[in-house]
Amino acid sequence: MRRTALGVGGAVVLLAALDAYVVVTVLIDIAQEVGVPLNHLERATPVVTGFLLGYIAAMPLLGQLSDRYGRRPLIHACLAAFAAGSVLTALAFGETTVVAGRTVQGIAGGALLPITMALIGDLWEVRDRPVALGAVGAAQELGSALGPLYGGVLALIPAFSLLGVELGGWHAIFWLNVPLAALAAVAIHRTVPARSGSAPAARVDTVGGVLLALALGLLVVGLYNPDPAKAALPPWGLPVIGGGVVAAAVFVWWEVRAPVRLLDLAGVRKGPLLAALGVSFLSGAALLITMVFVQFAAQTLLDLDALPAALVLARFLLALPVGAVLGGVLARRLGDRIVAVAGLLVATAGYALMSRWPVDLAGAGLVVDADLIVAGLGLGLVIAPVSAAVLRLTPPAQHGVASAGVVVARMMGMLIGIAAVSAWGFHRFQTLTAHLDTPLPFGVDAVTYAGRLAEYTARVNAALHAEYTEMFLVTAFICLAGAAVALLVPGRHLRPSELPSGLPSG
């Protein structure tokens, strides 16, 4: 029965993960339909960021609610909210409706992953837990790999309406979520124990959850810049980020003094726990930097459209779930620390090789594919050991919120890493191209103009190549730092001083 529950839980996680990335290939279509002009596509970005904000901000509190009320009721509630958000998005009455629908989807979808991971903590023994966690991690990574393609294929459904409601085109992506969520709810009801979760009488730290959500939301909004050409941060960036830091400080103050805490670390060795969360943070930064800059490299240096460029990135994304499953198997035999360190060292090697890509990527042949696979496998290996280590370091009553902490750390690494590194990369590109003048077809013959244009294009491509390869080199150092932090992650067996209260080692 628990294997069936694992399969159903993995399917639920896959459904949520698909929707996290599904709008990538249909964002322009959505923008046009809700009245966003093509020259102001920055107004459409909240369709993406709204989902991401909800995904991150609600995880810890909903993870704790699953500790309080049980896994099955919370999964049912999240699936219902996910379906409602999908309907709101599909109706597309305007920008506000779409963003609101995506935010509701994000809140519900974000909670499904930590609750499913906590369910594994409830049903599996410590020794067998990494394999199950690796399977769920693979489902999450598979969603990120297939999401853009999944959206693009469903959007090919011809546009049609029923009773004035548009059902075809990109709308079909979100209408399909309704029957899928209903089927998942039936499967969850039949496979997940009614009272899974270990603290039915515990209270919930609502204040802490709200403060943490506020801090995360402010930091994300402050780092989002709709016009990066003018500055690394938007005009509101510094004050909003400052507000996020203040909210985070108030959250820490509250958690120290509150009688009921969002994550009670009493009796838990803080060093190993923070090390595991740090590894998750750095891995997340490497992941999103790769997704952005490989896509850019494919579209500029290889001159590919968005969908073919996504297929280049697919080498990396498909290697992630393979690495996640392999990491779970190896962690069971070798321990969490060894596999996490090894995975990050493999990823470091992959990014170091990517930093040596030639300007002529088309002529590099299988080298590009092999390097992407190495980097993807390396990052995938880290997923299960980190999750398993955190669950072993925390008591069962905290599994829901601890699992949420792993995902929040990773997502925050994605956001902060891409914001910081891309800001530096954009500045670097501007520095490399500041002396270039765009050739004009006036006052010269066609042959001279063609020669000047070819030279200008070659120099721009060289600047882009320098930017991308330097970003990959930075990512290699991020992974190397992650490997150093992973040395502090507990190994196969916990020492008595690392054990949460009341648990045997193993």
Shared domain check, 306 and 229: no
Residue 276: domain span: 269-506
Per-residue pLDDT of the chain (506 residues; tens, 9 = 90+): 677 877 888 888 888 888 877 876 677 678 778 877 654 555 666 777 778 778 877 776 776 777 777 888 888 999 999 999 999 999 988 888 898 999 999 889 877 877 887 787 777 777 777 677 777 777 876 777 787 778 777 877 888 888 778 888 889 889 999 999 999 999 888 887 766 555 544 566 778 878 877 887 788 778 777 666 666 677 888 899 999 999 989 988 887 787 777 666 666 677 888 899 999 999 988 987 888 788 778 877 888 766 777 788 888 888 988 998 899 899 888 989 999 999 999 999 999 999 999 988 888 878 999 999 999 999 999 988 998 888 888 877 666 567 667 777 887 787 777 767 766 766 677 777 777 777 777 777 778 878 888 888 888 888 888 888 998 999 999 999 999 999 998 876 555 555 555 444 44
Annotate 330-354 with b (16+ C-beta within 10 A) or e (fewer).
Answer: bbbeebbbbbbbbbbbbbbbbbbbb
Identity of residue 35: G
Shared domain check, 422 and 279: yes
Last residue of a domain, one of 239, 259, 279: 259
Answer yes or no: is 380 within a domain. Answer: yes
Q: Cβ(321)–Cβ(343) under 8 Å?
A: no
Q: How many domains does the chain have?
A: 3
Shared domain check, 427 and 298: yes
Q: What is the CATH number of the domain that holds 502?
A: 1.20.1250.20
Shared domain check, 132 and 3: yes
d(CA 150, CA 503): 43
| 89, HSE (Cβ side, Cα atoms, 13 Å) | 34
Answer yes or no: is 436 within a domain. Answer: yes
End-to-end CA distance of the chain: 24
Shared domain check, 420 and 344: yes
H or E stretch at 489: none
Shared domain check, 197 and 221: no
What values do phi and psi take at 156, rounded to 5?
Answer: -75, -10
DSSP-assigned beta bridge partners for residue 161: 166
Shared domain check, 229 and 83: no
Cβ burial, residue 428 (10 Å; 0-12/13-18/19+): middle
Answer yes or no: is 413 within a domain. Answer: yes
Determine the 3-state secondary structure of 259 from DSSP.
coil
Shared domain check, 334 and 188: no
Q: What is the pLDDT of residue 101?
A: 93
Cβ burial, residue 495 (10 Å; 0-12/13-18/19+): exposed
d(CA 97, CA 84): 12
| 6, HSE (Cβ side, Cα atoms, 13 Å) | 19
Q: What is the pLDDT of residue 265?
A: 63
The CA-based angle 374-379-385, given to 5 degrees, is 130
Q: What is the pLDDT of residue 270?
A: 75
Shared domain check, 334 and 466: yes
Q: What is the pLDDT of residue 39?
A: 45
Answer yes or no: is 264 within a domain. Answer: no
What values do phi and psi take at 58, rounded to 5?
Answer: -90, -10
Q: Cβ(498)–Cβ(264) under 8 Å?
A: no
Q: Cβ(197)–Cβ(71) under 8 Å?
A: yes
d(CA 148, CA 313): 11
Q: Distance from CA of residue 262 to its chain's centroid?
A: 22
Shared domain check, 322 and 251: no
Shared domain check, 294 and 350: yes
Q: What is the pLDDT of residue 505?
A: 46
Last residue of a domain, one of 187, 203, 219: 203
What values do phi and psi take at 162, rounded to 5?
Answer: -135, 120
Answer yes or no: is 197 within a domain. Answer: yes
Shared domain check, 335 and 285: yes
DSSP-assigned beta bridge partners for residue 429: none
Q: What is the pLDDT of residue 404?
A: 64
Rounded to whole angstroms, the maximal C-alpha distance in the chain is 84
pLDDT digits (tens, 9 = 90+) for 214-268: 887 788 778 777 666 666 677 888 899 999 999 989 988 887 787 777 666 666 6
Identity of residue 317: L
